[in-house]
Amino acid sequence: MTNDVCALFITYRPEADVLGNIAKVRPQVQGLVVVDNGSSESARAPFHVASQKLDFTLIENGRNLGIAAALNIGVRWAQSQGYRWIVLFDQDSTITDGFIGAMLREYQSHPHSDCLAIVTPKHIDQTNGEWRAPAFAVDGTPLVAITSGSLMPLNIFEKCGEFEEDLIIDRVDDEYCLRARSLGFTIALCEQAILHHAVGAPRTHHAYGIASFRASHHNAKRRYYITRNRLVMVKRYWKQHPQWCYSALVAMLKDTAKVVLAEEDSFTKVINILRGTLHAITGRMGKVVEL
């Protein structure tokens, strides 16, 4: 435990077992802050008790401000306390022994650490135990990094700015990575650090007995933000990062097909996909659909 590392957890309607994830992180860092995004009083109550037992700070937003705003609140708190590093976690992420130490060693041993914005761990899918390998840029480094598990020097926010709050949720991490890359920074993968991570509630479906695919089953509200934010980023970064933009467009088409073929409430989801597309074209940002 070195170099003043602060861990940041974002919670929203957390289950009690989230405290177990926090308890595993706490001994490996020197500070920890939980930013709650508008959970009920009953959901927050165990965290009040645990904050004393585990020695962490609990910040309660009172309403869901979106993941980007919650991240910025936590980052600002860590900056105000004088920490040098911050490591970001979703509430459903679980670290392994030696995680923080491995991430720091990766950063400090990097040949171009002065240009390193993020160190990302190996994300292991909790549902199937598989490594969710990132897409790699032409230079062999991760093109983007998932928010959860990311280690960042706090001074990077002075150079690249904060997370974009107008996105609200979805693609917030991708946007920050592409922005940092556009400013000359890079991302490193730490293969020695393992993070067990859950994403949504994916299910495998079979089509006509000849093909199978996994659908994410995000709710209809999320479909709006996923679509809008992907297209906004394509408009913004297609010249600098065509690889990401092409992949985003392909993923959007595949996701839409999966929604139609296999997911519940498909009509509402398709309406939100169309609405998100329209707002990306017209430039309407911020919170449009209440989460």
Partners of 94 in the β-ladder: 196
Look at 49 and 133; give whichever has higher pLDDT. Answer: 49
Rounded to 5°, the CA angle 168-169-171 comes to 115
* pLDDT tens-place string over residues 179-203: 999 999 999 999 999 999 876 556 6
- If you average pLDDT over residues 123-144, what whole number do you get? 89
Query: Whole-angstrom Cα distance, residue 69 to residue 133?
Result: 27
Beta strand 93-95 with 186-197 is antiparallel
Tokens coding 133:
């390998």
What pTM, to 2 d.p., does this model score? 0.93
CATH for 5-197?
3.90.550.10
- If you average pLDDT over residues 126-139, what whole number do you get? 86
Query: Whole-angstrom Cα distance, residue 49 to residue 52?
Result: 6
- If you average pLDDT over residues 253-275, what whole number do you get? 93
pLDDT of residue 209: 58
In whole angstroms, what separates CA 26 from the centre of its chain?
A: 20
pLDDT of residue 2: 45
* pLDDT tens-place string over residues 28-81: 999 999 999 999 999 999 999 999 999 999 999 989 999 999 999 999 999 999
- For the stretch 207-214, contacts whose Cβ atoms lie closer than 8 Å and that sit 24 or more positions apart, written own/partner, are 207/261, 213/258, 213/262
- If you average pLDDT over residues 6-24, what whole number do you get? 94
Residue 206 has pLDDT above 70, yes or no: no
Cβ neighbors of 155 (< 8 A, separation 6 or more) are: none
Residue-range domain boundaries for the chain: 5-197, 203-282
Q: Is 132 helix (H, G, I), strand (E, B) or coil?
A: coil
**Do residues 197 and 127 touch, judged by C-beta distance below 8 A?**
no
Cβ neighbors of 235 (< 8 A, separation 6 or more) are: 280
Query: Whole-angstrom Cα distance, residue 197 to residue 105?
Result: 22
Burial 175-202 (b: 16+ CB within 10 A, else e): bbbbbbbeeebbbbbbeebbbbbebeee
Closest residue by Cα to residue 90 from 26, 32, 16, 146 = 146
pLDDT of residue 133: 87
pLDDT of residue 1: 43
Query: Whole-angstrom Cα distance, residue 63 to residue 39?
Result: 7
| Number of alpha helices (DSSP H) and beta strands (DSSP E) in the chain | 9, 10
DSSP secondary structure string for all residues of 58-118: EEE-SS---HHHHHHHHHHHHHHTT-SEEEEEETTEEE-TTHHHHHHHHHHH-TTGGGEEE
pLDDT of residue 55: 95
pLDDT of residue 129: 80
pLDDT of residue 71: 98
Look at 154 and 16; give whichever has higher pLDDT. Answer: 154
12 falls in which pLDDT band (50, 70, 90)?
very high
